Amino acid sequence: MLALLLEDDAVLSSEIALFLESKSIKTDKAEDGEKFLDIFSKKPYDVFLLDINVPKINGLDICKTIRETNSETPIIIISAYDGIEEKKEAFLRAADDYLVKPFLLEELLLRINSQMRRLTPKTEEKEKIVIEDLIIYPEDSKVFRSGEEINLTVKEFQLLVLLAKANGRTLSKQHISDEVWKNQFQSTNNAIEVYINFLRKKIDKNFKTKLIHTRPGFGYYLSPL
């Protein structure tokens, strides 16, 4: 699960992110509204956590902006404002929940899980493969790395999904040939090497952590290690 947090208190922001990541919810952070919208525009998220009183663009305006293009992803307001007017305004802008500071991190987790259960079955069932900062959506044929969308050809995408679903296991050229090329031609081994190089240029070249590796004499595997 991926969360995007808008919170200008650096200490609280780090505490929330560390806690959620310990519960398998990867959390990106923004300390002001403009940075939030920049991150928001680059990749999809499963839940948004918004403080109201933040620099540049406040959380209520961010909530409204999100809902202009995204009607489904849960939005939880986390704010020190406990007045009815702020809560009313948040729900008028289509927030899903409102949690008043200070709060227990466990309660935030309960609120997030509650919202996720309300999603439509279609949203819940959409397959997503996450490996480090690489996110693959097999149904939509989309790939993101560090928030940047990577454009792949059909064969490149099929090869990447095959490697990703292997969970770090080494796949032989024969196995890759059977699954991706269906043994359509004799020079499959050379084609596999060429396409592995294509993938490395797109998936790994511009990023510090390399994901696609060769195990000499055995084949290829995808892993952050």
The pLDDT tens digits of the residues spanning 48-102 come to 999 999 999 999 999 999 999 998 899 999 999 999 999 999 999 999 999 999 9
Nearest to 103 by CA among 92, 116, 115, 112: 112
CA atoms of 163 and 64, how far apart (whole Å): 39
- 97: its two tokens: 């929940």
Structural domain ending residue among the three candidates 119, 145, 175: 119
Categorise residue 131: left if φ over 0, alpha if ψ from -120 to 50, beta otherwise. beta
The pLDDT tens digits of the residues spanning 164-201 come to 999 999 999 989 988 988 766 555 678 889 999 999 99
- 196: its two tokens: 């592995």
12 plus 112 within the same structural domain: yes
H helix and E strand count, the chain: 9, 11
84 plus 103 within the same structural domain: yes
Q: What was the pLDDT predicted at 118?
A: 79
Q: What was the pLDDT predicted at 181?
A: 82
Residue 150 bridge partners (DSSP) = 143
Percent of the chain scored above 90 by pLDDT?
Answer: 77
| Predicted TM-score of the model (pTM) | 0.57
Higher pLDDT, 187 or 113: 113
Any idea which residue has 């709060």 for tokens?
A: 103
8 plus 114 within the same structural domain: yes
Range of the domain at 202: 129-222
Any idea which residue has 């510090």 for tokens?
A: 208
13 plus 112 within the same structural domain: yes
54: domain CATH number?
3.40.50.2300
Structural domain ending residue among the three candidates 87, 119, 151: 119
* pLDDT(115) > 80: yes
Strand boundaries in the chain, DSSP class E = 2-6, 26-30, 47-50, 75-79, 97-100, 129-131, 134-137, 142-145, 148-150, 212-215, 219-222
Q: What number is the average pLDDT over the span 120-125? A: 51
96 plus 37 within the same structural domain: yes
Structural domain ending residue among the three candidates 68, 88, 119: 119
Determine, yes or no, domain membership for 124.
no
